[in-house]
Amino acid sequence: MVDSSSFFGFLPIGRRAIGLTQLINKLESYLPPDQVEQIREAYEFGAAAHEGQTRRSGEPYISHPVAVADLLADLHLDSQTIVAAILHDVIEDTPTLKDEIAEKFGKEVAEIVDGVSKLDQVQFTSRAEAQAESFRKMLLAMVHDIRVIMVKLADRTHNMRTLGAMPPAKRRAIAKETLDIYAPIANRLGIYNIKNELEDLGLRTLYPNRYRVIEKAVKTARGNQKQFVDKIKSAIEGTLAKAGINALVEGREKHPYSIYQKMKRKRTSLNDIVDVFGFRIIVDTVDTCYRCLGLVHGLYRPMPGRFKDYIAIPRVNGYQSLHTTLFGPNGMPVEVQLRTETMQQAAESGVAAHWQYKTGEDDDNRAGHDRARAWVQHLVDMHGGNSEEFLESVKVDLFPDKVYVFTPKGDIRRLPRGATPVDFAYAVHTDIGNRCVAAKIDRRLVPLRTPLRNGQTIEIITAKSASPSPTWESFIVSAKARSAVRQYLKGMKKGEAAELGKRLLSQSLEELNLAYKNISEQQLDTLARELKLNSATELLEKIGLGERLAPLVARRLLPTTTITSKSKDSGPLAIAGTEGLSVSYARCCFPIPNDPIMAYVTNGHGIVIHRESCSNLESYRKQPEKWLPVVWQAAANKFFVTEIRVHVKSRIGILAAVASQIAATHTSIEKVSINDRDGGVSTEIFELLVADRRQLAQVIKRLRKMPDVVKVTRSTS
């Protein structure tokens, strides 16, 4: 726990090396003698291993692991964690082997030390990749033993306290990484003491002037407001005493970083943030928490909309408390937190409370540990994709700006702010997300892109034949949903690309008077290896994605005696609109069924369908080998995006009138935008979902009959 006397500066600890005596004194207060003796042996072992090594500050290197152990001793962690903290650098920085640690101090200690050591042993091509991959490895290590991250967080905390010996650029880089990754992890695991210190030290390093201004303002306010604090505290204690409630009432000091973040978030002045009194009321039971809430609301009038019940609905890291804001003396805001002693311990130590030395283990601590392990496992489960993409997904999950919604059965689901029904579906189960087709919010059907709000009840409608849509990526926000959709689409795209590649190769072979069915799998495999590919399937995927041209591959498959001139016309490729991601439709000309079309083979994206009238064809015709003749094939219940421009006389309600006429033809509007008015005429641009040209013609015909419509045109490039 951070010493309040050095809260803002942390300099007393940073300026001197923490010795073994200070550590042993702390350990003897809660550990049995035999475990303290083992920790003393670990110190002697580590000191011998690091003999001759020094830190940049000139101190003996062993001072660092002892300081890390001292931080963990403040949390009353078990002896294995303390031993691992003392030895956490010996595998990386000395010739000591993991087996040697296991033999002397046990397998669990060796695994923790190894988990911490492995995080820094990978070489990367970029700084961003290094940060992301290091974080991924940290999570993998945490799955096996969450104490790995506790040691790592303590290690980072002491390094932040002693950053003064580092070059300025290095200091800033470490501070930014601390604020981006380590402080949010400490927050997510509920270890608020470490989280608060990491944030304040990060702010002090990145923005020293801002930190000094905030620190000075807090110290000034502390002196000026002492009489108000004493008055409010006495009033609360007196009210609770009259009701026969025994409670601990204490003032709550605001942290510089939390003040800085609130100033940014609320765009308000420093004085408005500092001039808020904070109090914490700690009682024995949950029932007493609610009783005290009623009493303080009777003492000072509560501010509307400022009450939060984190006891009934805990935060995602297990934090529980009642939060309320009151109008205090002279109308000054008074923030009050009410919690039990168990909740207070969890608020200070979070998941670390599970590993605190104790004779038994209560259900609350076990639940906290299980929540943390479940969160880590969830992050590891969605670790597909490259490291940087993974890190961005995790950052979304780390910051606790949540919305709380309910399942139809009343179960609570916590989702990131801005989450949609699709995020909710994946939060329930990946299969539910993959088969989601519609959603109801409070029993009313809503679009899948609708943002969710606190307290809503969400019902997901599924279909067996449904699958994720590529458009979902534009509005989902949760890491789990984004990862699941990308993984599904990646697998689906490969299968579709291989099928399209087979069709393209078959067409090219027919032009050479050779049937695809007469080509053996062995021939395709042999050609694939010649082209440095792994299999025939990969070769077909490359053709479907446009990375290999089907006519050239077809010629490679011909027997040497075969005449390669075109001997028959195989006809154009048939497109039904059901080919999936390997076939896309150009947004420059919006082709729909019954339009004359051509197909352009793109590298890595399959084929793109254009209208023959598209002006972009002129530039593409310079590469005739990449063009394919295609025709439409009938497909039931398939709709295509098209765009029309409606030029209208500007008046109130004209947009609604046009939209109403479009809806009367049973045509869906996907998107609407309006261009600037010119001479009393504005242009409304509609993206519509239609089955073919006939349906589009009905829409245009109906709109042209409107008196306020000047002209209707179909968008082209």
Which CATH superfamily groups domain 225-349? Beta Polymerase, domain 2 (3.30.460.10)
- Residue 351: the pLDDT is 62
Structure tokens belonging to residue 24: 């042993």
**What is the structure's pLDDT at 614?**
83
pLDDT of residue 381 exceeding 70, the answer is: no
**Cβ–Cβ under 8 Å, residues 575 and 632:** yes
The whole-angstrom separation of Cα 477 and Cα 612 is 38
Residue 455 has pLDDT above 50, yes or no: yes
pLDDT (0 to 100) of residue 420: 93
pLDDT above 60 for 18: no
Q: For residue 221, is pLDDT > 50?
A: yes
Q: Closest Cα to residue 645, out of 667, 664, 668, 671?
A: 671
Q: Average pLDDT of 706-711?
A: 91
Q: What is the percent of the chain with per-residue pLDDT over 70, rounded to a whole number?
A: 77
User: How confident is residue 122, by pLDDT bands cut at 50, 70 and 90?
Assistant: very low
Q: Kindly indicate the confidence band of residue 656, based on its pLDDT and cuts at 50, 70 and 90.
A: confident
User: Residues 211-224: what's their mean pLDDT?
Assistant: 81
d(CA 83, CA 85): 5
Residues in contact with 7: Cβ distance below 8 Å, sequence separation at least 6, in sequence order: 253
Backbone angles phi, psi at 554, to 5 degrees: -60, -40
Residue 462's φ and ψ, nearest 5 degrees, are -120, 165
Q: Give me the pLDDT at residue 389, please.
A: 55
Q: Which of these CATH numbers, 3.30.70.260, 3.30.360.10, 1.20.140.10, 3.90.190.20, describes 640-714?
A: 3.30.70.260
pLDDT at residue number 666: 85
Q: What is the pLDDT of residue 123?
A: 44
Question: What are the tens digits of pLDDT across the range 565-601?
Answer: 444 445 566 666 555 556 778 888 889 888 888 888 7
Residues 61-99: pLDDT tens digits?
A: 999 999 999 999 988 888 999 999 999 999 888 899 999
Q: What is residue 646's predicted lDDT score, i.e. its pLDDT? A: 92
As a CATH number, domain 4-216 is: 1.10.3210.10
Instruction: Compare 548 and 334 and report the one with higher pLDDT.
Output: 334
- How much is the pLDDT for 562? 45
pLDDT at 256: 87
Q: What is the pLDDT of residue 34?
A: 93
Q: In the predicted model, what is the mean pLDDT of the chain? A: 79
Q: Using a pLDDT cut of 90, give the percent of the chain over it.
A: 25
Tell me what the mean pLDDT of segment 554-568 comes to.
56
Residues designated catalytic: 92-93
Quick: pLDDT tens for 311-322. Answer: 988 876 678 899
What's the average model confidence in pLDDT over 353-363?
51
Question: Hunting for tokens 């790592």 — which residue is that?
Answer: 152
Among the ranges 244-248, 409-413, 478-482, which has the highest mean pLDDT value? 244-248
Q: Is the dihedral of CA 521, 523, 525, 531 positive or negative?
A: negative
CB 489 within 8 A of CB 469: no
Q: Which residue has the higher pLDDT, 251 or 288?
A: 288
Q: Which residue has the higher pLDDT, 223 or 84?
A: 84
Alpha helices by DSSP H, listed for 399-478, are 421-428, 430-434
Q: What pLDDT sits at residue 124?
A: 44
Output b/e per residue, 122-151; b: 16+ Cβ within 10 A: eeeeeeebebbbbbbbbbbbbeebbbbbbb
Estimate the crossing angle of helix 479-511 against helix 421-428, to 10 degrees: 100
d(CA 27, CA 77): 9
Q: For the ranges 288-292, 300-304, 631-635, which has the lowest average pLDDT?
A: 631-635
Q: Which residues contact 450 (CB under 8 A, 6 or more apart)?
A: 420, 421, 439, 441
Q: How confident is the model at residue 133 (pLDDT cuts 50, 70, 90)?
A: low
pLDDT at 544 over 80: no
Q: Give residue limits of the domains in the chain.
A: 4-216, 225-349, 486-632, 640-714
For the segment 19-35, what is each residue's pLDDT rounded down to a tens digit? 788 899 999 988 999 99
pLDDT value, residue 573: 64
For the ranges 134-148, 348-362, 675-689, the lowest mean pLDDT is seen at 348-362
- The answer, yes or no, to whether residue 400 has pLDDT greater than 70, is no
